[in-house]
Structure 1
Amino acid sequence: MRVVTISATYGTAGSLIGPAVAERLGVPFVDRAIPSAVAEELGCSLEEALAHDDRAEHGLGRLLSGAVRLPTVTFGGIDMYVPGVLPHAPEDFVHRTERVLRETARVRGGVFLGRAGAIVLAGHPGALHVRLDAPLKRRVLQTATLGDLGEREARRLIEDNDRARAAYVRHFYRADPTDSCLYHLVIDSTCIPVPTCVELITTAAEALG
């Protein structure tokens, strides 16, 4: 069963490329199902699971990226709990997320978007790890065009999301998500058309697997 992890900066069409690769490989696209599975395991609400998810609009990465402005948080510490904000320890949710990723990869395979997949599944046999990235200016233009936004708003979205997702990986895995050594492929999907990106990733996954 094929396994592909995709780390995508905002504005690089990860949410388009991921499902297309999954369809080509005949495996599930694993994204929104993860917080649902974590919520079921922990017996909590989906909203609470999303609050600890790195891809959710108001997820844990947003809190981590602003930790320097929160005196109750020890940024980079082992334990992180903000009374009244996060009713459960974030580590519980992260550990459950890792377990869902590993179990899904083992049983069904899949294309996994975000959530430090390249690190969590680094030891999975035959897994392909992909990074989608591009210069900020091109990501701003692509986001503004696809989202019908002004460039200033597009830039704010990108910077907020980049900061949040990087904070999640750095806090829990002591790693830099921009480190090319984590990936087999690094693709600029603002220059290379989406269908070509899908073809490149699919071909690489089949060769590696």
Structure 2
Amino acid sequence: MNNRIITISREFGSGGRTIGKMAAEKLGIPYYDKDLVKKVAVETGFDESYIEKQGEDAPSKSIFGYAFAARGMNGAMNGMSADDFLWVIQRNVILDLAEKGPCVIVGRCADYILKERTDCLNVFVHAAAETRAERIVRLYGETEKSPAKRLEEKDKKREVYYKYYTGQVWGMAKNYAISLDSGKLGLDQCVELITGLTNLRPEDVKR
């Protein structure tokens, strides 16, 4: 076992992002989620809000996707759509972060992007719909859409995005080392299980 890089894929509302952050803090290694968005924004010139939304959502075929590109970036896209250009840059950033040392990376097909590495622990976090619905309302509040509809729409976008860029099925067990039910296990136990499957040495995390 030589797990130095942890990737967290998650259903909306399952707490996967929180679990990833807690695991990184416990191990003393970098955690990439919002910071990854910022790095991609620097590389692409895209607005961070666009990257946050489109970085895991189903690719848009609309020309309005280009509205979020910084002035002068169209030439750098070499004819690619804004979504495909974002994918290429995001992939390169993730590969670079993994090369730098141990870390936790949340979402953005990191499990697939790093599939050639032998030091990755790929995790999928899920939970019952009722558990996730309660969590999103508690964290994000009510909207005009029902919690069930919000869960369905968000997860569908992630599923389509993952399929489009990887050719694989999002959430399928064989794509991950472990699949954790955060509703049954609780966030703390999920963190314990993930960190227990790493073998980081002190010298690995001093960067």
TM-score (norm 2): 0.79
- Identity rate, percent: 23
SS of structure 2 residue aligned to 1:199: helix
Distance 1:134 1:148, change over 3 A: same
The CA distance in 1 between the partners of 2:61 and 2:175, in whole Å, is 29
Distance apart, 1:203 and its partner CA: 0.3
Partners of 2:63 and 2:187 lie apart in 1 by 43
Matching residue within 130, 137, 145 for 2:130: 137
Per-residue deviation, 1:94? 0.3
**CA spacing shift, 1:179–1:83, aligned 2, 3 Å:** same
Instruction: Give the one of 78, 82, 91 matched to 2:62.
Output: 82
Distance 1:51-1:20 versus aligned 2 partners, 3 A rule: closer
Counterpart in the other structure of 1:166:
159
User: Which blocks of at least 5 consecutive residues in structure 2 are unaligned?
Assistant: 68-73, 75-80
Deviations 1:56-77 (A, max 9, x none): xxxxx1x54xxxxxxxxxxxxx
How far does residue 134 in structure 1 lie from its aligned partner after superposition?
Answer: 2.2
Structure 1 residues not aligned, in runs of 5+? 55-60, 65-79
Residues 1:31 and 2:24 aligned together? no
Q: Number of aligned pairs?
A: 185
- Say whether the 8 Å CA contact 2:8–2:17 is kept in structure 1: no
How many angstroms does 1:48 deviate by?
4.2
- Equivalent in the alignment of 1:101: 94
Per the alignment, residue 179 of structure 2 pairs with 186
Residue 115 of structure 1: aligned partner: 108
Aligned to 1:58: none
3-state DSSP of counterpart to 1:205: coil
CA distance in 1, matches of 2:140, 2:147: 8
Tell me: CA distance 1:128–1:92, structure 2 relative to 1, closer, same or farther (3 Å). same
| Alpha-carbon distance in 1 for matches of 2:189, 2:49 | 36
> Map of 1:141-160 to 2, 5 A cutoff?
141-147=134-140, 149=142, 153-160=146-153
Q: What do you get for the CA RMSD once the two structures are aligned?
A: 2.4
Please say if 1:203 is aligned against 2:205. Answer: no
